[in-house]
Structure 1
Amino acid sequence: MAKQQNGEAVLLINLGSPDSPKVSDVRRYLAQFLMDGYVIDVPYPIRWMIVHLFILPFRPKRSAEAYSKIWEKDGSPLLTNTKKFAEKVQKFSRKKIYWAMRYGNPSVLHVLTTMRNAGYTQILVAPLYPHHALSSTVTAIEEAKLHAADLKLELSFLPAFYDQKAHQTALAKLVKPAGAKHDYVLFSYHGLPVRHITKADITGAYCLKVENCCERRNEQSMPAAAEAHKTCYRHQIIETTNAVARIAGIKSDRYGFSFQSRLGRAEWLKPMTSEFISELPKKGIRRLAVIAPAFVADNLETLEEVNMQLREIFLAAGGEKFTYIPCLNDDSAWAKGFAQILSDSQKPHTRA
């Protein structure tokens, strides 16, 4: 056993990627991802049938083709971007920085074991998602907690950082120049089923049950609002959108938000990006800039779905210019800001 280290180490957790764009690797990755009960939140037998009978026989081939379009010589863009970000954060942090993927490799278990073998027993787990969601933040935390007891680790958790000035300012730096050259800036976020919003409501009686539930001003008159907003994805993405637009100096009629990546037939958050952007040229909006702030690192969803598929939809609908604004990735100012967020984090968050 390695000598116990003084201080706290940090584990950054991102979504994940297949080991290669081969169909077999993509199938293995999708099976792990889609069988997560926080992603498809139905009873296990039903989830197994959905995944193994209706998705895995068909989707891996299509997804493999999509991954092939964005795969880099160094591998998956998400992995390389996360690795570069972790290395950049390390330059600005006194804490030892590690990184892992919730699905695929390097796994959370593998990296936690590496950290334990290096002598670290107090670990700050930092899901790399600005906004709280069951299918991103919560599943990453639960995966870390699953292995903490066996490894004799003490974990603390970084909350959603959508309201941190470092994050908002870094995004505004990307958005501002695009806002000056386009008719409209669209903040397109990863979509979620509506039921994920209500299930995450810790009050059980606020989200999507109170008129204008996501508005911050409700917090002053309704104690339930402040509590619900801590875990409300929709509230948090609205806050990000408005804050970034304000800092970037974009007028209220020149920006908006929407949701991409719908899966299945359940009711999802609206408006859907594909439908939203197809209507913009009819309103005289022909130069569109799109950013995907649900992610801090570019990945299949941002590079293929947003930058390729949505571009095609907008141009086919009569748009003239489509600009995808990349994620923050390993931007130095953002890495420095995130290192400060880690440093400022209070230790006794939820513990394993």
Structure 2
Amino acid sequence: MKGVLLVNLGSPESPEPKDVKPYLDEFLMDKYVIDVPYLLRAFLVRGIILRKRPESAAEAYRKIWWKEGSPLIVLSKRMHEKVMEKSELPVSLAMRYGKPSIEAGLQELYDQGVRDVLLLPLYPQYAMASTLTILVLTEEIRKEKFPDMKITDVPAFYNKPDYIKALSDSIKNYLGDFDYDKLVFSYHGIPERHVRKTDPTKKHKKFVTDEMCCEVGTPEAEFCYRTHCYETTRLVVEQLQIPKDKYYVTFQSRLAGDKWLEPYTDVVLNDYPKHGIKKVAVVTPAFVTDCLETLEEIAMRANEEFIENGGESFLTIPCLNDDEQWCQVVATWINDWAKN
């Protein structure tokens, strides 16, 4: 019997330090997130970061927390319910970090008689700190707990026409008649070395600002997060017929000490008003579900800083969340796989 496991990022159980700390520990101790030897990672995370970060992170989570709980969890569950209604197969929901766990999601499917699983990481672009860590952990759990299960993963869908159409339609809908100077595509940042590490050819080219670093269709582009981001943007602006001078690609959420993908979202946005760009719209296509990085970092903090620096209007475009068209796209992928 076939079934599906949707996997998203995850969230603390509450916006309090006592729950944020174990969540951050699980997240930051992941060797695919902070990719240094274990002892150094433990020293950095448990000896330095977790001494102060839980308090500040909890404060950020409190700003976005809903009455029903974590926005990411609530919105993921809403999307899950809609996908289940449209799908011909059993569908479970899991989180890479926190609850419900991947093991719990697989167990739920197993108890329903599922032995053939379609694994769908809810990340459009491939990255080792998102897609790869889900694939690796799921396989480890399968081997240990469910050896008679077969798992097939859905490749990064950054350029799938139906995903691009759903994303483009959503952007168009939220833009409405907003007269923006610039539409900023803000993707989650990652260290440059992560891109090189996931290149099986080891031929990755140098990063050039505002240009795609790999040619789509080449072996080195298959797992290149940066190329995936630029290609998603290219396809969306082509669909919406947005002129080149009206959009820009940036990367958010970086840590000090490493070379991360550039240009940085906050630097670009805060500099725009000096150049007469005072009305911006920001979309975050690295996420399909609104979360701390979109709701607090962009919709609140980036918005406030942009206005403080002389900006006039700031529009945050929500993620796809439980958008009907997006849920139908996912259900169609599932139903097509069910027929194979």
Q: Do Structure 1 and Structure 2 share a fold, with TM-score over 0.5?
A: yes
Alignment counterpart, residue 294 of structure 1, candidates 271, 286, 293: 286
Give the TM-score, by structure 1 length: 0.91
* Aligned counterparts, 1:19-58, within 5 A: 19-58=13-52
C-alpha offsets along residues 310-348 of structure 1, whole Å, 9 cap, x if unaligned?
111211111000010000000001110122233345999
SS at match of 2:91: strand
**Poorly superposed stretches of 4+, deviation over 4 Å:** 209-213, 345-348
Listed as ranges, the matches of 1:1-352 within 5 Å are: 6=1, 8-149=2-143, 150-152=145-147, 153-177=149-173, 178=175, 180-181=177-178, 182-208=180-206, 214=212, 218=215, 226-345=218-337
Contact 1:176 1:249 in 2 (8 A): no
1:220-248 Cα distance to aligned partner (Å, 9 max, x none): xxxxx611111000000001111111212
8 Å contact from structure 1 (residues 169, 247) kept in 2: yes
Equivalent residues of 1:158, 1:345 under 8 A apart: no
**What's the % identity of the aligned pairs?**
42
Q: 1:166·1:338 contact (CA, 8 Å) conserved in 2?
A: no
Deviation string, structure 1 residues 199-240 (Cα, Å, up to 9, x no partner):
011101124389998367x45xxxxx6111110000000011
How many Å separate the matches in 1 of 2:206 and 2:197? 11
- 8 Å Cα contact 1:197/1:207 also seen in 2: no
Letter in 1 for 2:258: A
Question: Structure 2: which 5+ runs fail to align?
Answer: none
For residues 169-225 of structure 1, give each alpha carbon's deviation from its aligned partner in whole angstroms, at most 9, with x where no partner exists. 111112225275211100000000000000011101124389998367x45xxxxx6
Distance 2:250 2:208 in 1: 21
- What secondary structure sits across from 1:265 in the alignment? coil
What amino acid sits opposite 2:10 in the alignment? G
Taking the aligned partners of 1:302 and 1:198, their CA distance within structure 2 comes to: 26
Structure 2: distance between partners of 1:213 and 1:205: 17
Q: Secondary structure at the match of 1:56?
A: helix
Moved more, 203-212 or 111-120: 203-212
Amino acid at match of 1:195: R
The total of aligned residue pairs comes to 336
CA distance in structure 1 between the partners assigned to 2:289 and 2:68 by the alignment: 15
Query: Distance between the aligned counterparts of 1:345 and 1:204, measured in 2?
Result: 32
Q: Distance in 2 between matches of 1:210 and 1:286?
A: 26
AA of the residue aligned to 1:94: E
Q: Which moved more, 1:165-174 or 1:187-196?
A: 165-174
CA contact (8 A) 2:206 2:213 kept: no
Please give the secondary structure, in 1, of the residue aligned with 2:10: strand
Give unmatched runs, 5+ long, in structure 1: 1-5, 220-224
More moved, 37-46 vs 201-210: 201-210
